[in-house]
Chains A and B, each alone.
Chain A
C-alpha cells in the first residue's frame, strides 16, 4: 500500500515539450476544419500562385478600361448634377427659358375630339393640357405651354386621324409615314 502511495506521489517525469506539442498539433491539423474558417484560411494562408502575364494583363487592361468609362460617365453626371446649381447661382447667364403659351388652331367641322400631340408632351393624345376645345363653326383651339425651341407636332382628330397644322411648316416624316408640323418657339421679350 505504501509502495503504491509513493508511486502516486512521485512527481511525473516532464514530457518532452516539443514532441508533445507536435503530437497535439498534428492531431489538431488532422481534424476537419469548421467551414466558417475555410475561406478565411484560404485567404490568409500563404500560397504559391502561378501567374500568366497575358491573362493578368488582360484583366488589368479591362479594369483600366472600365474605370476610364466610369470616370467619363461620372464627369458627365457631375456636369448634369451641377447644372441646376450653376443656374441658380448665375441666373442671368444660363437660366432655363420658361415655356411659352402657344395657341394651336385647327378647323375640323366633323370632329368630335381634337388633341395636340408633339415632342413637348410625349406624343400623348390623352394629355389633359393639350385637348382642344370646340369654339364653334368647326374651329378647335387650345393654348398650351410649349418649351422654347424647335418642336414637331400634329393634331389627332377623334383619336385616330393625324393632321398636320395647315398653317405651320411641315416636317416630312419618312419614318412613320405621317407628316408632322414644325414650330420654333422663342422666348417672349
Chain B
C-alpha cells in the first residue's frame, strides 16, 4: 500500500507540464541538449523572461558548429543575464530592452548602471542606447566613460537615429586610427549640443 502511494507521489512530483517545444530546436539538437535547453526555456517562461532569445541562442550555437555542452552553457548564461537585466530595468522592460541589456551585461556593464540608464530615460525605450553602450565598450571605450556618455544622451533626449549615427561615426573614427575614448567623447559633445532640451518628465 505504502509502496503504491509513494510511487504515485513520485510520479506526480516528477511529472512536468508539457513543454511548448520549438520544432526548430527538436530538429537540430540532440536529445540531451534539447532536454536541457527546453528545461531552461521553460524555467525562463515561468520567470516571465522572453524565451525567443534563448531558442535563438541555441540555434546560433548549432549554426556556429558548437557542441551540445557549449550550447547549454550559452543558453543558461543568457537566461541568467536576462534575469539580471530584467531586475535592473524593472519588470516593465520590453523583451527587446531585456535582450539589449543582457548584451550590455555580457561586456561588463553593471546592473547598477542599467538601472541608472532606465531612470535617466524615464519611459523612453532604452534599446538603442543599450546597443550603443555595448558597442562603445566593445570598441574599448572604458565602461564608466561609455556609461556616462549614454546616460548624458538619455538625459538630453537624444533621438535613436542620432545615436545610431553617433555610433557609426565613432566606429569610423576608430577604424581610421583614432583613440576610442577620444573619438567617443568628441562625437558625444557635438551630439549633446544639438540634442535639444531634455524630455518632459513622464506623467
Contacts and interface: CB of A to CB of B under 8 A. Distances in A.
A62 B12 contact: yes
A59 B60 contact: no
A35 B56 CA distance: 56
A55 B56 contact: no
B91 interface: no
In terms of DSSP, what is the predominant structure of the interface of chain B?
helix
Interface string B52-94: 1100110111111010001001100110000000000000000
B193 interface: no
Contacts of B61: 175-176
A162 interface: yes
The winner among A73, A124, A171 for most chain B CB atoms within 10 A is A171
A105 B97 CA distance: 26
Given A167-B171, A175-B73, A182 B135 contact: yes
The winner among A117, A162, A184 for most chain B CB atoms within 10 A is A184
B138 A170 contact: yes
Contact of B134 (A50, A167, A171): A171
Interface of B: 1-2, 5-6, 8-9, 12-13, 15, 17, 24, 45, 52-53, 56-57, 59-64, 66, 70, 73-74, 77-78, 95-97, 99-100, 103, 106-107, 127-128, 131-132, 134-135, 137-139, 160, 164, 167-168, 171, 175
A122 B160 CA distance: 26
A111 B167 CA distance: 27
A167 B138 CA distance: 14
15 contacts: A52-B2, A55-B6, A76-B45, A119-B52, A122-B24, A122-B59, A149-B96, A150-B131, A169-B134, A169-B138, A169-B167, A170-B134, A171-B138, A172-B138, A176-B70
A62 B53 contact: no
B96 A150 contact: yes
Given A122-B24, A182-B135, A171 B66 contact: no
